[in-house]
Amino acid sequence: MSNVATLTMQNTRLHLGGVVHFDNAEKVCQDGLELLKKSPNPLIVDMQALESSSSVVIAILLRWMRAANQAQQRLCIANMPDKLRAIVRVSGLTDAFSEVD
């Protein structure tokens, strides 16, 4: 497992990978918000390469969703890790996240 979070844009997908933790969460969130401003609509956040699942990732996703809603964009999630999906379910946030294949 790496200690670095990665965030790259490819076509209509924002790829979130590596490890997101409290020390890099603010940078990941801000970098994602900047990419969101330049992104196509709808935007898909692809988590296939994500190596960590924690509430900090949920907080970042919620911030991105709020920004997307304010910009009248649609943000969807692809390849959400099962552990992260479990956190979403336990938190009662299932309806807040749109998942796609």
Q: Tell me: pLDDT of 55 over 60.
A: yes
| CATH dotted code for 5-100 | 3.30.750.24
pLDDT at 5: 95
User: How much is the pTM?
Assistant: 0.92
Q: What percent of the chain has pLDDT over 70?
A: 98
Average pLDDT, the chain: 93
Q: Where are the domains of the chain?
A: 5-100
pLDDT at 2: 59
Q: Tell me: pLDDT of 50 over 80.
A: yes
Q: Tell me: pLDDT of 11 over 70.
A: yes
Residue 15 amino acid letter? H
SS3 content of the chain, % helix, strand, coil (to 5): 40, 25, 35
Q: Tell me: pLDDT of 31 over 90.
A: yes
